[in-house]
Structures are given as C-alpha cells and as structure tokens.
Structure 1
Amino acid sequence: MSDGGDRRPRVAVFRPDDERIESAVELLRSLGAEPTADPMLEVEPTGAVPDDAPLVVLTSKTGVELAAEAGWEPGNADLAVIGPATAAAARDAGWTVDIVPEEYTSAGLVAALEPRVAGECVVVARSDHGSDVLLDGLREAGADVSETVLYRLSRPAGAGDSAELMAIDELDAVTFTSSLTVENFLAAAADRGVSDEARAGLADAVVGAIGPPTAETAADRGVDVDVVPDEASFEALATAVVDAFDDESADGPDADRR
C-alpha cells in the first residue's frame, strides 16, 4: 500500500448487490473513502418460513424481510433478533421484538436467551451458513432447537474484481462483514490465479472484520485482521477501518498497525 497522505483510502465492500451495498458505498463516501463495490454474497430465498414455536430467533435483516414477504407473522411467539438492524426490519414489518442481545453476535444471542430457554422449543430462522455457536449454545442451555433455512448464500459469478485490485496494490482496505465474505474473497482470488498476490496485498492493507467470528475465520485462513469494531454493524466497521487508515497514514508508511 502506498503512502496515504491526504489521499482518499480505497476500500473494498462485499455486501449483497442490493440496497445494502448501495448504502455501504454511500456511507464510505461520506467518511472520505473511495469505495470499491464487489458483492461477495448472493441471496437465494428458499421460500421457507419459521415453524411455530414459543420463541423464534431471526439473525438478519434479510431473513426478516423474506419471512415477511412470504406472509409469516410471529403470532404469539416471542421474537429474538441479533441486533438493531434486524430489530428495525422486524418493527417495520409490524412485529414486536422481545429480545435484542447486548452483543450483536450468535454468542450474544446465546447469552441473552440461555436463562429462559430450558425445556422450551426454539426455532432459529436464518441462512444456510449460520454459525453452529447459536444452535449449540441454545441446546447446551436446555432448549429444543430446530432450524429453518430462509435463504441460501452463494458467491456471485462475477465476484472477485477486488481480489485482482488487491493483488496489484490498488486497494487500501477491506471490510469483511461475515465469515463467508472472507472465504469467498479468497476463493475468488484463487479462481482468478492471484491468490498469493492478493494475500500479500491484504498483509499491507487495513483489514476490517465486523465481529470476532469473522476475525477468527480470517485468522484461520492466514489473514491478519487489524480492526474489529466494538459494535457489530457496518457503520461501525467502516468508520473504524477509515480511522485506522488515517492513523496509519499520519504515522507514516512504516508504522506497525498490528
């Protein structure tokens, strides 16, 4: 990565190709960054809706929107969601949100729910790439857990431009928003024959992960993470990444971010 100076950081964003990537690009621009949009996730609805249960857990805004579009209603079920964005989508659908954890992760949901789920039927409705942490944690707390897959996540056919840019030092930072974005970025780099070069570029860039599970996935695959925000939201991630780039630029090209 070249000297930052007053240059706008070039930041890759991997959100799905819908309003989420549009809002992410707009946010990064407002923070003084030059975003590179490279959607690494494609949403394929299954048409399923959550089964009836006293407690239903939804782990994404996308899941809420798909369940609502399919005509699902919580009815008498209590509704737990993973964070504020998911809660806002649920309230927009006219639903009452009963539980939002303090930590917006699967582990945070387990911590919020474990005091009340012993002996209770719980439905977790989410993508096909959900973390085992949530299901295992609820089962260990004594819940009878079932899972409904609302949508599948795949890598779009055209994904990977950011990997080629990273391979030639044309990116300053990346914003990984899930474990799957890490995996898909590395897979795209491999498919395009730039795996080693892209990894070298990542080592010289500001690498942001939205939360500890995503950071752990990156570390497991040999990618050092520089930034994990306190709040698991894209706004917090983008702000932290841009701030880290600015700090590194102010300290000079030889500064050790890690």
Structure 2
Amino acid sequence: MAEPTVAVFRPDDERIDEAVDLLDSLGATPVPDPMLAVEPTGAVPRTDADRVVLTSKTGAELVGDAGWDPGEAAVCAIGPATADALREAGYEVDLVPAEYTSAGLVDALADDGADGARVEVARSDHGSEVLLDGLDVAGAYSHETVLYRLVRPAGSGESAELAADGDLDAACFTSSLTVEHFLGAADARGVREEAIAGLDEAVVGVIGEPTRETAADHGIDVDVVASEATFEALARETVAATRRE
C-alpha cells in the first residue's frame, strides 16, 4: 500500500517539524501547511489571582520570555505539552487535568476548590468559551488575559489545493481555528467547495469534540476524533484509519 498523504496544520516552528517527523515514522507522507501564526500582544497574566491557567505551549513560552512571576498563585496547565513548556521556562506546575480539554480543566479546577477563587486565564484570542463559562458555573471569579492573537499565515493553502485535486488521503485538524483557516485558505485560492469535497473522500481527524463540531458546521465529515487531546494520538489514529479504508 502506498504511503498516505497527510496534511498537518501545526504552527511554523518546532511543532510542525515534530509533526512531520512523527508522520514520517508512521509511514505517511506529510504535507506541512501551517495554518496558525502567532502575534504576541505584550500582555502578561494578572498577579492577584489564586490560580493562573495556561492553555498552550505558546502561552507558556510567552510568559516565560516576559519574565512573568506567578507569586503565590497556583499554576495550571491544560495538558502535558503546556506543562512541559512551563517547567522548561522555570515554573512549577500545580495542576494538569486528566482530560486535556477545557471541560477537563474546569472539572479539575472545580475538584481543586475553584468555588470563590480568583482564576486568571491566559491564552490566545480564540480560546473556547467552555473554560470561562465552566469556571463561572463552578463559582470562580475568572478573568481572561489575551497573550497572543492567532492569524492565518500568508501563503497557506497547499493542502486545500491537494484536497481539491483529490490528492490528499488525510488531514489532522488540531483546533477549530485550523478548520476555519483551512477553509479561508481554500477560499483565497478559489477551491473551497472542491476542497470540502476532497476531504469527504479523505480521512479527516480532529483533536477533540469542539473541533469536530466546527468541522461539521462547515460541512466537513469527521472520521476520527482522537482518543486523547494530543497531536501524537491524533496522528497515529488518523494514519491508522487511512489503512482501514
């Protein structure tokens, strides 16, 4: 069987390189097509919170570069990649949820006594409302600081053209925004409908339920929802699904 051609949309840094290496190791032909570029805002988390939540590796790196001091606040990470980045930046991580999602983080914070606590959420401008809404329900006093904006890089969209031509076997979407930016790139190249049709013939993998919902809202059928919200799980399960087709 020929190696499946798999599009990956990680940011254009070491994450896209690691994704390409992983797909290579799985016997796939990677199509790296970064759909996210980071524009830092220069903001840092507030210093008067009881708990500070970081939801991405990018956010962890930005607060580290800024020399942010959490003081007495407990530092919480949405998952292991964010936690590793925080530790590499010199921070102690006090909480990582068992489920690496916004809902999982809300549950972990609620179990940890979020009721009445001041919770600072530091993340991108496209963070899920699930986290803030869930913290409100849990009785926390939440505040959001936007550390960076996520934009679509100029020149993205090779994968959309491949999908439109029927030359893409699979795609790994790691967030709702990667779905939206993929479609934006397809629009810019005049192949939106053809690209969606091409994805219908391919294996579409997503990192979690919110991303699946976004894809479905845009008419994209999802074949794989990763069993764990990590790129490794998403890539392995998506590539495996191409071999069952």
Normalised TM-score (structure 2): 0.97
Instruction: State how 1:23-42 maps to structure 2 within 5 Å.
Output: 23-42=18-37
Helix, strand or coil for the counterpart of 2:225? coil
Take 2:7 and 2:20, find their aligned partners in 1: how far apart are those partners?
A: 9
Residues 40 and 148 in structure 2, CA contact (< 8 A), matched pair in contact too: yes
Aligned to 2:209: 212
The answer on 1:91 being equivalent to 2:87 is yes
Gaps of 5+ in 1: 1-5, 249-258
Residues 206 and 234 in structure 2, CA contact (< 8 A), matched pair in contact too: yes
- Write out per-residue CA displacement over residues 125-155 of structure 1, whole angstroms, 9 at most, x where no aligned residue: 0000000000010011111110011110000
Aligned to 2:104: 108
Take 2:33 and 2:100, find their aligned partners in 1: how far apart are those partners?
A: 25
Aligned to 1:198: 195
Aligned length: 243
Runs of 4+ residues over 4 Å off in structure 1 = none
Take 1:103 and 1:84, find their aligned partners in 2: how far apart are those partners?
A: 10
Structure 1 residue 47 displacement after superposition: 1.1
Instruction: State how 1:119-198 maps to structure 2 within 5 Å.
Output: 119-198=116-195
Helix, strand or coil for the counterpart of 1:202? helix
- Write out per-residue CA displacement over residues 60-105 of structure 1, whole angstroms, 9 at most, x where no aligned residue: 0110000000111222110111001111111112211111111100
- Write out per-residue CA displacement over residues 31-66 of structure 1, whole angstroms, 9 at most, x where no aligned residue: 100000111000011111100111000000110000
Residues 64 and 90 in structure 2, CA contact (< 8 A), matched pair in contact too: no
- Write out per-residue CA displacement over residues 217-254 of structure 1, whole angstroms, 9 at most, x where no aligned residue: 11111111101111100011000011001111xxxxxx
Take 2:90 and 2:157, find their aligned partners in 1: how far apart are those partners?
A: 38
Aligned to 2:71: 75
The answer on 1:221 being equivalent to 2:218 is yes
Normalised TM-score (structure 1): 0.93
CA RMSD of aligned residues (A): 0.8
Q: What is the one-letter code of the residue matched to 2:36?
A: L
Helix, strand or coil for the counterpart of 2:227? coil
Gaps of 5+ in 2: none
Aligned to 1:61: 57
The answer on 1:244 being equivalent to 2:245 is no
Percent pairwise identity: 67
